[in-house]
Amino acid sequence: MGERKWVSEADEYVCALSEDTQKIAKDTLGEDKNVRDQALESMRHWITHNPRILNCRLDSNFLLRFLRFSKFSVVQAQIALERYLLLRQSYGMVFREMDIKIPKMTELLQTGFLFVCPKRDKNGRRVYIIRPGAFDLSKYTNADMLKIAGIAFETLIEDEENQVKGFVYLADGQGCGLPYVTLFTPLEMVRLVKNGEKTVPARHIEIHGLNVHPTMKFAYEFGISLISEKIRKRIKLYSTIEEFLAGGTMELDILPKEYGGTTPMSEMIDNWKEELLNENARLLSHDEMAVQEELFSSKERDGAVSALRASGGTCGNEDSMYGVTGNFRKLEVD
């Protein structure tokens, strides 16, 4: 690895996943010890020989989030990692200084705009609660919205159970009306949704929407048209919380009291804040990760959809493979 210093060095992976989770990883992601070891070796060789990447984490936990996201297609994991690093740098106002201690982030957390329930569901998945109506448009910006969401994701994805089992989302549209449509331009929305699905290494398993305001219907239809058919099938809408609860989709003891559970939302938010604080230093260390921006096209730096669609080993650059190796099997990202 020469004299270069990395955010974290390569380590010898020791599997701490439960037997149940290992079975899920094998059945749904094609993961076993041999596949994992070879993939990690390929990823590290590629990173350390890739002139586009100046600094990155080399530890197993970080690399496995991309490998599991791509079902161990090494080439696709490399593409996603490179895009991820580039977008973090290109959109520094959102993805850098992911510090929950920033006053605005702490305030936004306490509003209950976005928090994660402490208990896992029956399938071992963490559940996001998202309440856009609690987002004060006169006080916060779209960058604030993305930053608090990024802090939540980066905190949870450190847990290997979450890398394997994925996430469940419960979005409550109560109080979210027409003014929220202007929070993102159509172009920003397209890039946000496409990069969220293809670049952010998360498995989105279930998405439940409550109380969708009639004025937001066209915005919803536009957003739904941008995502893949597979993710689209995982979205379910309910007119009321009562309709959602009647379906028995989620155990009541997971949900906050305000949604039929027993634990008050304020208590869940306090617990979530402790989780965020425990990972705060690690998230801030990510600001050391860097890429050589001039080696990317302007479209790649902007996160353009055309760059996402481009073929090739590194963010659509068809002339430079930079040591890409691995499995070219069809990618089916969950």
Distances (CA, A) of 304 to 185, 205, 290: 14, 25, 20
pLDDT value for 284:
97
Domain extents in the chain:
19-96+287-309, 103-282
For residue 248, give the H/E element and its range. none
| Average pLDDT of the residues in 243-249 | 87
Beta carbons of 13 and 60 less than 8 angstroms apart: yes
pLDDT value for 287:
96
pLDDT value for 334:
44
What's this model's pTM, rounded to 2 decimal places?
0.87
Q: By C-alpha distance, which of 59, 83, 57, 58 is closest to 70?
A: 83
Backbone angles phi, psi at 303, to 5 degrees: 75, 30
Confidence of residue 308 (pLDDT cuts 50, 70, 90): low
8-state DSSP, 330: P
**Domain with residues 19-96+287-309, CATH architecture:** Orthogonal Bundle (1.10)
Q: Where is pLDDT greater, at 185 or 313?
A: 185
pLDDT value for 313:
43
Most confident of 32-36, 217-221, 304-308: 32-36
Confidence of residue 325 (pLDDT cuts 50, 70, 90): very low
Q: How many helices (H) and strands (E) in the chain?
A: 15, 7
% of the chain surpassing 70 pLDDT: 87
Q: Which two tokens stand for residue 44?
A: 């590290």
Kindly report, residue by residue over 18-55, the tens digit of the pLDDT.
999 999 999 999 999 999 999 999 999 999 999 999 99
Q: Which two tokens stand for residue 206?
A: 């279930």
Pick the CATH number of 103-282 from 3.40.50.1360, 3.40.525.10, 3.40.640.10, 1.10.540.10: 3.40.525.10
Q: How many residues does the chain have?
A: 334
pLDDT value for 319:
34
The mean of the pLDDT values for the chain is 87
Q: Where are the beta strands (DSSP E) in the chain?
A: 53-55, 114-116, 126-130, 167-172, 204-210, 235-238, 290-291
Confidence of residue 327 (pLDDT cuts 50, 70, 90): very low
Is the predicted pLDDT of residue 316 greater than 80, yes or no?
no
Pairing of strands 126-130, 235-238: unpaired
